[in-house]
Each structure stands twice: as C-alpha cells, then as structure tokens.
Chain A
C-alpha cells in the first residue's frame, strides 16, 4: 500500500501513521452531550468499501491527510491535506 502525499508524492505506507475514520475532524461542541460525543469518539460506519480516513505523514512532511481508501481492495483513491479537506 502506497499513499500519494500532496506535498511529498507517492510514499511507502510505513511513512504514515493511521488515526482512523475522518470523522475525527468533525469535533462536536464540548456541551453537545454524551450521545453526540459517544458517536464522535466510538461509533463508526466501518464500511466494507470506500472510506475516508485520517493519516499522518509521520516520517515525511508531518502533514495530516484525509485519505480516501477502499477497505476491501486496499486501493488508495485520493489523498488531500486535512487542512484543505476541512475548508
């Protein structure tokens, strides 16, 4: 599995740290209540197929990426900077 970092180009999977579903970018209001926070922290779509995830280019440029990836084939479909994906 190789990921194309928008800054560094195509790199080995070992340069990246996997954080989890990109839902982590959608941090709720601190007072949103335990249901919303449970959803954010713990509950997952967990799709067998295409999913959006947060990866960190740990031994490269240190950028956080939103990677679109297929969990069945391991195909990497897209990788963009998390800072741009949020906007």
Chain B
C-alpha cells in the first residue's frame, strides 16, 4: 500500500474503507538468519536497512511489548547533528542526512520539521565553547550560525534577556536541526521492514540466549525457542539484563530521564531552544503542546517515572528562561530509561560471542540516532565490518582508554553525561 495525495483524496471520498494494517502480526518461525532483540526505533531501523540495503529478509524483530511502546514513543523528538568529537560528529552527520531523505525512503510522513535548534549561552566562556562547537559542525559539513544577543532576539523575542544570573549573550543556531513525529518513525520503519518480509513479533520477550562453544545459536522466548545464525541486541535501557543472558557485563547503567508536555497552545515557540544554564530544552509539537525536559534524575532507575525535585528544577529553569510559559498547564510528565555509558557515547560492535552483536549506550540522545544506528548496525551484522560513520563506537574503548568520546569532559561516571 503506497501513500500519496491521490490515495488520501480517494479514501476520503470513499469513507476511508480502503486502509489496511501497516504491518502483519506473524507468529514466530522456529529459525531465522537474524534475530533482532528489541522492536524499538533502533531495532526496527536495523531490520529495515538489513532488508533494504543488504537484501537480508529472513529476519525477525522480537519485541516484548508492542511496536512503538518503548523509548521511541517516550522521547522529546529532537533531531540534530551538533556534536563535537570525532566519532560522534560523523555519525550524527550521517544520521541527519538519512533523516532528510527518510520520508521519501519510507513513503511515510514522519513529520520531520527542520525548524532550527538554538543552544543559548550566558557567558563569554560559553560563547567561546559554542563558537568552537559551531566550527566543528561546519568542518563536518553541517550548518551552524553563531548568533549574538540581538540575533537571538529576532528569533526568540520572548526570552528573559536581562535575567540577572543568566543574561542571554547569544546562541548557536543549527538551522537543519528540528523535530520529528516519534511514533511515525517507528511505524514507518516497521512498515518498511515488514513489507520486505521481516517478521515483527510483538509480545515476545527473550528469556535466554543460546550459545554453544562461543557461537550464538538462537534465543529462548516467551513464545518458544528460535534458532538464529546471528543475534542482535538493541534494547536500550534493558541492555544490562539482555547482555547478562549472554554472560556479559557491559558498561551501562540505566537512569531515568523525565519529560513534560503542556496543553495545546497556539504556535508560540517556533524552534527547539536549549538553556545554557543547565539542561532545560523545549519545543512545540504540531498539536500545540510545549514539549520540554531537563536533566537526568541522577540515580539508577528502571521505574519509568522520576521524583519531584527534578520536576521542580525543570519548571524553575523554564520559568527563568521564558516566563511567558508560566500560565500553561502541564498535561503529562513521564520518564524513560536511558542506557548511560561512562563516556556518554554509544556502542555499536560485535561481542566476544561469534554471531552476537550489540547496539546500546544511547544515553539520552537515542531518537535522532535512529536512522544511522540502524543503518550502521545493519551494515555490521550483514558484513561483519564497521560502517565508516560508526567505526569508533567500540565496546573495548573503555578497557583500552583509546578513543573515548566524552563530549562533556566529565569522566567515567555513568550519570554525568
């Protein structure tokens, strides 16, 4: 089923009776060439690129819940390529290019909106740091514009520019940054993978990984045993538990990150804006809700909900930056479980088990990485060679100390990134 304007017109005139489900609901077969554990954004995009770019379609995606029910449906939808360090820089640049062609590629409206992202700064030192970051982004081939105070005022007239503690000195504008509809990204990749023959198996939790003589043989699940030549683990916050099934301890600690959305308002915030005093960022969804968040709660958690001190902190930061949002009513808050690594950068690599692959450590930046993570992970699984854009995301960098990508320079502590 192809989507087009003509199709929408025809369905609209005939009672919308012609739409069919976007993917099948198959029972698991007893054997696949490749089993992907985790039907989130990264698992689905991995399956899609295995089929679309490598012709590998004897593939199953095992999801313990339902498609789109994990972090891909719980994030703040921001898409950007404003990283600084080699390794991250080329990877997110690759991802942004995939985003820009995604709707054509998938024939699916993911509502990718390149509305521009502005990171504010509030001191001379911060200005220097952002100027340097902007140069790194331009060197990578992406876009960055250093705005002074009056430049920011043209875009964001509603900020409290004269705040005593955090006056706005300027901002780094990333014009190609923006947002996308998170659910639609999951659905689009799911539909694309399914239509090429990949089995998306929901309500199927992996309970064990079968390994014989150092070679992976398959998985045990709540829907029976499934043999596989290759097994890929892409389970974000649950990476520690799944890796433990393969006898691995991995450099991940799971933390909770909260997010918030207000009632729908008329358009007032046209960009993605982040506050340089701390981790407050905000955008406005197409439905009108202000979507915003802050920092981690800063302790290990699987609760998918946070504590009130961080709620208070985020609200304070928002009110400090843009007092106009004070009357908006918060409709919902929620928490997602983040797979935090010691350097704050991800892992896409083989493991010590032959045929077992690992994609994790997305910290709180996994959404924008969905296309490139799947693209590069599929390349690794299909060819056993690292994709050029992700070749620095090695598991052994922590052991050797070579190639760590600590963007914030905060050191080997999981919650400080």
Binding site for B on A (CB under 8 A): 1, 12-14, 18-21, 34-35, 38-39, 41-48, 51, 53, 69, 71-74
Q: Mask for B247-263, Cβ within 8 A of A = 1, else 0?
A: 00111111000000000
- Taken together as a complex, chains A and B put the C-alpha atoms of A67 and B253 apart, in Å, by 16
Interface-lining segment among B47-55, B179-187, B375-383, B407-415? B407-415
* Contact A42/B342 with A71-B302, A74-B307 known, Cβ cut-off 8 Å: yes
Question: In the assembled complex, which residues on chain A have CB atoms less than 8 Å from the CB atom of B400?
Answer: 34
Kindly provide the distance from the CB of B281 to the nearest chain A CB, expressed in whole angstroms: 22
User: Is B240 within 8 A of A44, CB to CB?
Assistant: yes
User: Is A44 within 8 A of B399, CB to CB?
Assistant: no
Total A-B pairs, Cβ < 8 A: 73
Q: How many residues of B contact A (CB 8 A)?
A: 26
Question: In the assembled complex, which residues on chain A have CB atoms less than 8 Å from the CB atom of B303?
Answer: 71-74
Closest residue of chain B to A51 (Cβ to Cβ) is B300
Q: Does B18 contact A (CB under 8 A)?
A: no
Question: In the assembled complex, which residues on chain A have CB atoms less than 8 Å from the CB atom of B300?
Answer: 20-21, 46, 51, 53, 71
Q: Does B21 contact A (CB under 8 A)?
A: no
Closest residue of chain B to A44 (Cβ to Cβ) is B253
Q: Does B301 contact A (CB under 8 A)?
A: yes
**Per a CB cutoff under 8 Å, which of B241, B249, B298 touches A43?**
B249
**Per a CB cutoff under 8 Å, which of B249, B302, B412, B414 touches A48?**
B302
* Contact A18/B309 with A38-B398, A46-B252 known, Cβ cut-off 8 Å: no
Question: In the assembled complex, which residues on chain A have CB atoms less than 8 Å from the CB atom of B399?
Answer: 34-35, 38, 42
Question: In the assembled complex, which residues on chain A have CB atoms less than 8 Å from the CB atom of B249?
Answer: 39, 43-45
User: Is B412 within 8 A of A42, CB to CB?
Assistant: yes
User: Is B301 within 8 A of A41, CB to CB?
Assistant: no
Chain B CB count within 10 A is highest, among A12, A44, A72, for A44
- Taken together as a complex, chains A and B put the C-alpha atoms of A72 and B253 apart, in Å, by 13
Could you pull out 22 A-B pairs where Cβ atoms are within 8 angstroms? A12-B309, A13-B307, A20-B253, A20-B415, A39-B249, A43-B249, A43-B250, A43-B251, A43-B398, A44-B250, A45-B240, A46-B250, A46-B254, A47-B240, A48-B238, A48-B241, A48-B254, A71-B254, A71-B303, A72-B303, A74-B303, A74-B307
Closest residue of chain B to A34 (Cβ to Cβ) is B399
Question: In the assembled complex, which residues on chain B have CB atoms less than 8 Å from the CB atom of A74?
Answer: 301, 303, 307
Kindly provide the distance from the CB of B416 to the nearest chain A CB, expressed in whole angstroms: 10
Kindly provide the distance from the CB of A84 to the nearest chain B CB, expressed in whole angstroms: 22
Question: In the assembled complex, which residues on chain A have CB atoms less than 8 Å from the CB atom of B398?
Answer: 38, 41-43
Question: In the assembled complex, which residues on chain A have CB atoms less than 8 Å from the CB atom of B253?
Answer: 20-21, 44, 46
Kindly provide the distance from the CB of A21 to the nearest chain B CB, expressed in whole angstroms: 7
* Contact A13/B309 with A43-B250, A46-B240 known, Cβ cut-off 8 Å: yes
Kindly provide the distance from the CB of A4 to the nearest chain B CB, expressed in whole angstroms: 16
Q: Does B299 contact A (CB under 8 A)?
A: yes
Closest residue of chain B to A39 (Cβ to Cβ) is B249
Question: In the assembled complex, which residues on chain B have CB atoms less than 8 Å from the CB atom of A13?
Answer: 307, 309
User: Is B414 within 8 A of A18, CB to CB?
Assistant: no
Extra contacts, 4 of them, besides A44-B240, A53-B300 (Cβ < 8 A), are A20-B414, A34-B399, A39-B249, A44-B250
User: Is B307 within 8 A of A42, CB to CB?
Assistant: no
Question: In the assembled complex, which residues on chain B have CB atoms less than 8 Å from the CB atom of A42?
Answer: 251, 342, 398-399, 412
- Taken together as a complex, chains A and B put the C-alpha atoms of A69 and B238 apart, in Å, by 18
- Taken together as a complex, chains A and B put the C-alpha atoms of A47 and B238 apart, in Å, by 9
Closest residue of chain A to B342 (Cβ to Cβ) is A42
- Taken together as a complex, chains A and B put the C-alpha atoms of A45 and B251 apart, in Å, by 9
- Taken together as a complex, chains A and B put the C-alpha atoms of A1 and B302 apart, in Å, by 14
